[in-house]
Amino acid sequence: GAVVSQHPSRVICKSGTSVKIECRSLDFQATTMFWYRQFPKQSLMLMATSNEGSKATYEQGVEKDKFLINHASLTLSTLTVTSAHPEDSSFYICSARESGTSVWADTQYFGPGTRLTVL
């Protein structure tokens, strides 16, 4: 159980175009999903928290107008990188929170990631 999928796994686009990445929880409902970015040899950086049916909460320094997040259902969240530029090239990973028996036991399961290359 607790499987999270992401699509596409890899995308190459031209500078100035927009790219949409989908994150799905396959066997559980995820009221909260998270979006991370990871540059080579660095740790994961949380970009935003996505709650089903409400606006995403962005971390400091993350442009909400550039990284559009939509969490329309309990199993799907999307991240759209608008007007992508080469500096946006990175490994984008989503995670979904599965509710545990208590808040202490909540765990996040990660999707396989999307490698974005902007030319």
Partner 1 sequence: QKEVEQNSGPLSVPEGAIASLNCTYSDRGSQSFFWYRQYSGKSPELIMFIYSNGDKEDGRFTAQLNKASQYVSLLIRDSQPSDSATYLCARSWGGSYKLIFGSGTRLLVRP
Comparing C-alpha atoms, which of 6, 10, 116 is closest to residue 66?
A: 116
Give how far Cα 82 sits from Cα of 79, 96, 106, 107, Å: 9, 23, 32, 30
Among 18, 83, 107, 117, binds partner 1 (CB under 8 A): 107
CA distance 52 to 63: 20
- Give the residue with the Cβ less far from partner 1, 26 or 46: 46
| Residue 44 interacting with partner 1 (CB under 8 A) | yes
Residue 113 in contact with partner 1, rule: CB under 8 A: yes
- Is 34 near partner 1 (CB under 8 A)? yes
Interface with partner 1, residue 101, by CB under 8 A? no
Q: Does 65 help bind partner 1 (rule: CB under 8 A)?
A: no
